[in-house]
Structure formats: C-alpha cells, structure tokens
Amino acid sequence: MCGSASWPVEVGGFHLGTTGTTPALRTIDQPTDRTAHLDLTAPFEVGPALAVLAATALPGAELVDVESACLTGFLARPDDTPTLVTVRLHRDHVELTHAASSGRELEHLTATVRSCLDLDADPDAVATALGADPQIGAMVRSRPGLRVIGYPDGFEAAVMTIIGQQVSVAAARGFGARAVAAFGGVPQSTTGLRPFPTAADLSAVHPTEIQAAIGVTHSRARSIQALATACTEGLAISPGPDGPGLRRELLALPGIGPWTVDLLAVRALGDRDGYPSGDLVLQRALGVGSAIEARTAAEAWSPFRAYALFHLWSSALGI
C-alpha cells in the first residue's frame, strides 16, 4: 500500500493543509493486499487527475501521496460493505492495490475505479471532436489525455455536491471531513481512515444534528437528510438507462436544483455530454455571464461537453 500520514501542502494550486488520523475506538482489518494492473488508452494526464483527487479528498477518509501519485480510500464491495484500496496513477496504466476475496469482488472494484477515473475514455475521439475548436482546441491538443474524474460512490457524490453549493472546494472538504468524523464508518486498523457515512447512517440523524456536527446551514442539513432517506428507500444515484427519471427524482428533493443535478451527471452518472451550464467557474472561463450563454458556447462540443468542461476548469484553476 502507498499512502501518507499527512497531506501535501499544495497540489496544482490547491492548498491542502494537513490532517491527522481518527483515533481508532474499534477497527476493521483486511487480508494481505494484491495489485491489479488496469489498462487504458494512453495518454492519461496524471497531474490534473491527481490534483482533482487531492483537492476533493476528505481528511479522515482518504490519504494522498503526491510523490507516488497514489490515493488511498474506501470502495464498496458488491454487498456495499467498505474495503480499503489504493490506486496509483501512471501515464499508460493504473495500479489497484486491493484485498478482494473473490474474482467477482475484484471485477466490481475494478469497474468502480475504471468509471471513477474515466479509464475507458478514447483520447483520439475527444481530440478529433474538440481539437480544432477555436475556443478549447489548444487546451485539448496540449492535454489529449485529460479525463473526467468522478466519484466512486453516487451517494457520497450527491452529499458532497450539496455541501459544495456556493462554497469553496476547501470549505466543502472541511464540511465533508466533519461528516466523516461525526457519522463515518468503523476506522481501518492500520490507517485510522473511516468510510464516508452511508445513506442509512445519515437518514437516521435529525437535520439539526447534522447541522451541528458538520457546520452547514439548516437547509443544507435538511437536504442531506432528505437525500439519505430517499436513497434508503430505493433512489440509486448511479449510471443507468433512466437518466431523465433520476433527474426528476433528484430535483424533487429539497435543496437540489439544476446545477447540483448537472454536476452529478458528470461526476457520478458517467454522462460524458453532461454540462453544468450554471457553474460560475465555467462561466468565468468562457467569459460569459449566464447559463444560457454557457450552453450556447458549448453547442459544438456535444457529445463530449464533459471533457470540454474539465479542460476549461483545469485551465481556470491552473491544474
């Protein structure tokens, strides 16, 4: 396993600070780890991917080692129980260090990593579609292997997107770390890391308790609790054939609007034409002042608007 006991000071312009580990009151152990080699179509832009992962990694739940290009954290097994893994990024492949106890479990973990890191992307197809564009073509040509980095778990993605509404990335990480400390799962023995709270964990907590523990507004806490309850009742935030239906279900929940759903389409549902036109960083990068203008600017980029989004974000944020 690769990892670090503290966070790097800065990655790609994001100040990360330091974290400790959570004291282990009761711990979970895992069998001896093994490493799987995950192929991809090169190139894979390691630096930008690592910067995104490091900037959004939650203290207490994940560890980042920039020098080794590693992220250590939890993935869900097929039965939804957590298992600790490490991914190491390379320009032509990714290594997954795991403790899978069966071929089915390893296949599940591998599929999760492939989806989260966009390892099945076709850089040539993206370059052909976007490389000559007058606005983003130069970005695409300079970084042909830029991937759309997502979340390994749809519920966590949705909670963190709600938490991240109208706050900085650093502030959202802080709120997320408090959620892990207050409501997260059992610590892992060697690292002290704890899994992100499950929908069942958060649905059982009153919004006032969520607000007090995390520090978010009451309306955000109510949104988180309502989302968690919906997920325990069958709402699945994962790629599937009924994207419009899922969108309607999410929009019906309190505190979830188009920006949140559009961002989840990109980072949790695998929509490579997803495009949160209401995103302010995106609008600034485009030099426009409204969601309508942002949508108009992206008309020529379909069906690869998510890649255009990540190129514009990366350029605007200097990663």
CA atoms of 164 and 273, how far apart (whole Å): 22
What CATH number is attached to the domain comprising 242? 1.10.340.30
- Looking at the structure, tell me whether residues 308 and 165 fall in a common domain: yes
Residue pLDDT, tens place only, 111-168: 999 999 999 999 999 999 999 999 999 999 999 999 999 999 999 999 999 999 999 9
168 and 60 share a domain? Answer: no
The residue behind tokens 């649905």 is 203
> Do residue 176 and residue 303 come from a single domain?
yes
Whether residue 218 sits in one domain with residue 118: no
The residue out of 142, 173, 207 marking a domain boundary is 142
- Measure CA 234 to chain center: 22
What residues make up the domain containing 306? 154-317
80 inside domain: yes
Residue 30: its pLDDT value, please? 53
138 and 158 assigned to the same domain: no
Domain membership of residue 5 (yes or no) is no
Q: How many CB atoms lie within 10 A of CB 251?
A: 12
| CB neighbours of residue 93 within 10 Å | 14
pLDDT reported for residue 165: 94
212 shares its domain with 249: yes
- Looking at per-residue pLDDT, the higher value among 171 and 319 belongs to 171
Q: Say if residue 300 is in the same domain as residue 214.
A: yes
Same domain as 90, residue 34:
yes
pLDDT for residue 268 is more than 80: yes
Please indicate, yes or no, whether residues 66 and 210 belong to a single structural domain of this protein: no
Number of domains in the chain: 2
How many other CB atoms are there within 10 angstroms of residue 201's CB atom?
Answer: 17
Co-location of 209 and 296 in the same domain: yes
> Per the domain annotation, does 2 fall within a domain?
no
Cis peptide before 303 (omega within 30 of 0): yes
Instruction: Kindly state whether residues 177 and 243 are assigned to the same domain.
Output: yes
CATH code, domain carrying 113 = 3.30.310.20
Of 78, 107, 142, which residue constitutes the final position of a domain? Answer: 142
Domain end call among 85, 107, 142 = 142
Residue 4 has pLDDT above 80, yes or no: no
What is this structure's pTM? 0.89
Query: Residue 5: pLDDT above 50?
Result: no
Q: Judge if 101 and 35 occupy the same domain.
A: yes
